[in-house]
Amino acid sequence: MPGGVSSPVRAFRSVGGQPIVFDRVKGAYAWDVDGNRFIDYIGSWGPAICGHAHPEVIAALQEALEKGTSFGAPCELENQLAEMVIDAVPSVEMVRFVNSGTEACMSVLRLMRAYTGRDKLIKFEGCYHGHADMFLVKAGSGVATLGLPDSPGVPRSTTSNTLTAPYNDLEAVKELFAENPDAISGVILEPIVGNAGFITPEPGFLEGLRELTQEHGALLVFDEVMSGFRVSYGGAQARFGVTPDLTTMGKVIGGGLPVGAYGGKAEIMEMVAPAGPMYQAGTLSGNPLAMTAGIKTLEVLKQEGTYERLETTTQRLIGGIIEAAKEAEVPITGSSIGAMFGFFFCEGPVRNFEDAKAANTELFGKMHRAMLERGIYLAPSAFEAGFTSLAHSEADIEATLQAFRDSFAAVS
């Protein structure tokens, strides 16, 4: 396999050493093939919000397996999960299930263009919307981790209609609209950036984008593949009170199985085939196993006090990390929202991808190796958010903070 992995960000190229090879996961823990246990803050890159191999999810999957792994036809489970998504996410009146976040974002871009009759779009530097050609312009995630400005194999003609602006910079967006009158189909962004490290929207930024897109007849799209059902049950849009026209989702809504979705206003979604002329299809879309895992995961998340517990756990973690760094006299800035967190080894604040790139990535690599030695598994990249789960206990958090204190001492 290229680089020994099936997805670039799993490699340890930016932090040094070879990737850990997992054997099994359960709750807040992961075990490698040598039997070493790690407290896991990746959670399969976000889906494991209830904890790995949650017993209710596993039981539901075992029952679903007896009925078959794929139908290639409509199933009732699709309707159940669709209703749950529509009830939870403010912008979604209709939803289409796909197989990955990349598929969701690729499809929503086609829909933006079909609905508006315009070809151009605006994305933000460091925001990652999957690996489709038109999004690999100043992208985050593995593109940022590996230091790739774009990707060979992507024709210039494919990205010629992709305009970019710095995150948290409304004036730059205004200029792009002014320079491209009646040509921009919409604006797509991670409402909370998780693929350039953890970066939050400044007050008024999301509201300003909502006003600008409405003023120019363009669509506003939130990529909530990462933040959806993680920072609140209704996603970042419910948390911040800003409703986009369209939303992409994934990760949590599949409960750890491959899934993606896009949805929004009914009048826009009715453009999608077979209701309308915009074509998009998928052999395994709405797969009964993914739908089952998603339904059971959302049922667990709807239980009283779930998000309060996640918020408290995550705040305690990031607060302790910052305190440990300051005690070690290491420059740091960090924060959390819901069950997402992140930090940068710099004075801060970090408003956008350019600020993030100025952080001390060499120190992050040293800390990553030191934390691994102490049984803590963090994302092997300074440009990825971290995730907590309902399975992380107070003892797990304290053990993690002690590992940070010891690691800061070891690398200073």
State residue 140's pLDDT score: 53
Which residue in 374, 365, 368 sits closest to 36, CA to CA? 374
pLDDT tens digits along 115-155? 999 999 999 998 989 887 778 776 555 555 444 446 777 77
Distances (CA, A) of 289 to 44, 56, 298: 17, 14, 14
User: Which distant-in-sequence residues (6+ apart) come within 8 Å of 395 by Cβ?
Assistant: none
pLDDT tens digits along 237-296? 999 999 999 999 999 999 999 999 999 999 999 999 999 999 999 999 999 999 999 999
Q: Does the structure show a pLDDT above 60 at 359?
A: yes
Evaluate whether 131 touches 144 at the Cβ level (below 8 Å).
no
Which residue in 5, 14, 13 sits closest to 357, CA to CA? 14
- Sheet with 94-98: strands ordered across: 94-98, 260-264, 246-250, 219-223, 184-189, 120-124, 162-165
Domains and CATH numbers, the chain: 2-54+305-411 (3.90.1150.10), 56-301 (3.40.640.10)
User: Of 61-70, 100-109, 129-138, 364-373, where does mean pLDDT reach its minimum?
Assistant: 129-138
User: Which distant-in-sequence residues (6+ apart) come within 8 Å of 24 by Cβ?
Assistant: 30, 31
What's the CA gap between 339 and 315, in Å, rounded?
Answer: 9
The pLDDT mean for the chain works out to: 94
Mean pLDDT confidence for 158-178: 93
The residues carrying an active-site annotation are 128, 223, 251
What's the CA gap between 322 and 341, in Å, rounded?
Answer: 12
pTM for this entry: 0.94
Q: Does the structure show a pLDDT above 90 at 13?
A: no
